[in-house]
Chain A
């Protein structure tokens, strides 16, 4: 099982450029999330999805967009990159079985906007 796969691992963008961070999971999880992690901080939720075709904003959604056309894929789009979006981005998926919950994280995408 690959789990949660994120690409690319690293990227440098110029201000105003756009890019899509890819996230794929092969565990048939309905719930998927995008977090950003700034130095010395915990993870903050950008967007999440409870299933294909359903997305919703998290704590810090400004400057980002998402889509969820399939259960497996949950790409994150930056339309006009800004230096404030320099961060490490983590995608996660979640299983919910009765009262049990478990998040699996990808290994992250380190983005620098210059």
Chain B
């Protein structure tokens, strides 16, 4: 099946620093999604990308859909303590009757005030 490699596994950064994480796939996706999960909660959608090359921002977050359709990255600028959590990338190929997501294993972000 399709595999997603997400890196890094974890990051420890100082408040105010920028953060970058990425996902690569063994095959192409039509959609890339980035989620954040707080402890004890379900994942919450941050950014959705629907076209190769697309660059989309949501506040301090910026994500890009790679040209090859096999990768995506997420940047967080000027991190703050509430950015702490686990960030997941997810890829999807819509069409047919499925449309289910393939998830990366997550990047755990810790921010020191």
Binding site for B on A (CB under 8 A): 4, 31, 33, 35, 40-45, 48, 50, 56, 58-59, 90, 92, 94, 96, 99-108
A83 to B94, CA, bound (A): 34
Specify which chain A residues have a CB less than 8 angstroms from the CB of B42 in the assembled complex.
4, 90, 92, 105-108
Contact A102 B103 (CB under 8 A): no
Q: Which residue of B lies closest to A9 (CB)?
A: B40
Specify which chain B residues have a CB less than 8 angstroms from the CB of A92 in the assembled complex.
42
Measured CB to CB, the closest approach of chain A to B71, in angstroms, equals 16
Contact A58 B100 (CB under 8 A): yes
Contact B44 A105 (CB under 8 A): yes
For the residues of A in contact with B, the DSSP-based class is: strand
Specify which chain A residues have a CB less than 8 angstroms from the CB of B103 in the assembled complex.
35, 42-44
A11 to B56, CA, bound (A): 39
A107 to B105, CA, bound (A): 18
A35 to B50, CA, bound (A): 23
The answer to whether residues A31 and B45 also contact, given A41-B105, A96-B94, A100-B50 and a CB cut-off of 8 A, is no
Q: Which residue of A lies closest to B89 (CB)?
A: A42
Q: Which residue of B lies closest to A105 (CB)?
A: B42
Binding site for A on B (CB under 8 A): 1, 4, 6, 31, 33, 40-45, 48, 50, 88, 90, 92, 94, 97-101, 103-106
The contact sample of 21 A-B pairs, CB cut-off 8 A, is A31-B99, A35-B103, A40-B105, A42-B6, A42-B88, A42-B90, A42-B103, A42-B104, A43-B101, A44-B103, A90-B42, A90-B43, A96-B99, A101-B92, A102-B45, A103-B45, A105-B42, A105-B44, A107-B40, A107-B42, A108-B40
A29 to B48, CA, bound (A): 18
Specify which chain B residues have a CB less than 8 angstroms from the CB of A108 in the assembled complex.
40-42
Contact A48 B100 (CB under 8 A): yes
Specify which chain A residues have a CB less than 8 angstroms from the CB of B106 in the assembled complex.
40-42
Measured CB to CB, the closest approach of chain B to A86, in angstroms, equals 16
A45 to B91, CA, bound (A): 13
Q: Which residue of B lies closest to A4 (CB)?
A: B42
A56 to B100, CA, bound (A): 11
